[in-house]
Chains A and B, each alone.
Chain A
Amino acid sequence: MSIEWYIVLSSLLFAVGATGILIRRSPVVILLCLELMLNAGNLALIAFSRMVGNQEGQVFALIVMVVAACEVVVGLGLIVAIFRRKLPLDVDELRELRG
């Protein structure tokens, strides 16, 4: 398979993730859609690394995985803290920081 297919699939997955972030209102699902977008970026990085023929893109993808894990940990901690304070788990109702 040529590299084009992987890149088109990656942009399609990225668009699906972005659509999910726009549609959904539950913070957990928004974090899941962020994972989709990060993984689409990973797929593009690895496909380009295969296209060029060196492995440095794979190291970038590994670092992206680390950053995604950190983001998940902090985001889920925030969700647990929101739930413990009996606030609604809905990003349209948590609008105190909105200007």
Chain B
Amino acid sequence: MEEVLFFAGALGALGGAVGVVAMRNPFYSVLALIVHLFSLAVLFLLLSSAFLAAAQVVVYAGAVMVLYVFVVAYVGGDHESAWEPIPGQQLLAPLLGIALFVELAIAVLASSFLALGTEGPEVSPGFGDPAAIGYLLLEKFLIPFEAASILLLLAAVGAVVLAGHQRKSSPGEGPGVPSEQRFAREESNPSGDSSQPPHRRVASEEGPPGPSPASGSA
């Protein structure tokens, strides 16, 4: 039974990984990664780490993948060009990947870990359950736990700074200007008169407020 589950999980994980690399549409790559993460959760369960399997499904396949799906839907699907800037890239990269796999496998299997061929020692039924992990996290690894929380806070603030749009539009600042003008126009859209033609709205935004009928009505 364990062998069947292992090979099912391994096939799912490997197929998902190959799917992520091989799919042309990024949306399908995200879906393949979800398959990969669920299969990895099965493998984590086989390695008797129940809490990590649950966290894998909830955090990764739930939250992180939803974020990916949103971003892929936002930036659109097919951006990859057929143009190949480095000659032989599509041929050399799989060869390098195979070389990396062979190297890693030799490095691990030729190591002197005596327990590598076993299934590991017998463990108690509470091995890897939330209580044990939480105890370790709050007793022995308290400082990494706090550092991780600070890192999460920093990442959240950084994402807001990176992806949030600026309210103040300063003209003549390079490539950021068109998008800022676009957002400024979208913001002024509900407040302004909707019957205005769009070119007049842009003109009233950029130029000084003159005696035009657009600024008079607003």
Which residues does A use to contact B, with CB under 8 Å?
Answer: 1-9, 11-20, 22-26, 28-29, 31-33, 35-36, 39, 42-43, 46-47, 49-53, 55-56, 58-59, 61-63, 65-74, 76-81, 83-90, 92
Contacts and interface: CB of A to CB of B under 8 A. Distances in A.
Contacts of A72: 64, 67-68
Contact of A17 (B17, B81, B137): B17
A69 B155 contact: yes
B135 to A, nearest CB: 9
Contacts of A43: 40, 43-44
Contacts of B120: 3, 50-53
Given A56-B140, A69-B155, A90 B163 contact: no
Given A4-B109, A50-B47, A59 B67 contact: no
Nearest to A1: B6
B163 A7 contact: no
Interface size class of B (residues with CB under 8 A): 35 or more
Interface in B77-129: 79-81, 85-86, 89-90, 92-94, 96-98, 100-101, 104-105, 108-109, 113, 115-121, 123, 127-128
Nearest to B85: A92
B97 A18 contact: yes
B144 interface: yes
| 5 closest Cβ pairs, A-B complex | A19-B97, A11-B104, A15-B101, A22-B93, A77-B162
Interface of A is mostly: helix
5 contacts: A12-B14, A59-B141, A65-B52, A72-B67, A77-B158
A74 to B, nearest CB: 5
Given A11-B104, A19-B93, A33 B21 contact: yes
Interface of B is mostly: helix
Given A46-B44, A50-B49, A85-B179, A65 B152 contact: no
A17 B157 CA distance: 28
Contacts of B202: none
Given A2-B116, A42-B40, A51-B116, 15 more contacts: A1-B2, A3-B116, A19-B96, A23-B89, A36-B20, A50-B120, A69-B64, A73-B156, A76-B68, A77-B162, A80-B75, A80-B163, A86-B179, A90-B80, A92-B86
B215 interface: no
Contacts of B163: 76-77, 80-81, 84
Given A24-B80, A39-B36, A62-B55, A13 B151 contact: no
Nearest to B108: A7
B40 to A, nearest CB: 6
A84 B76 CA distance: 12
B108 A22 contact: no
Interface string B139-171: 011001100100110111011101101000000
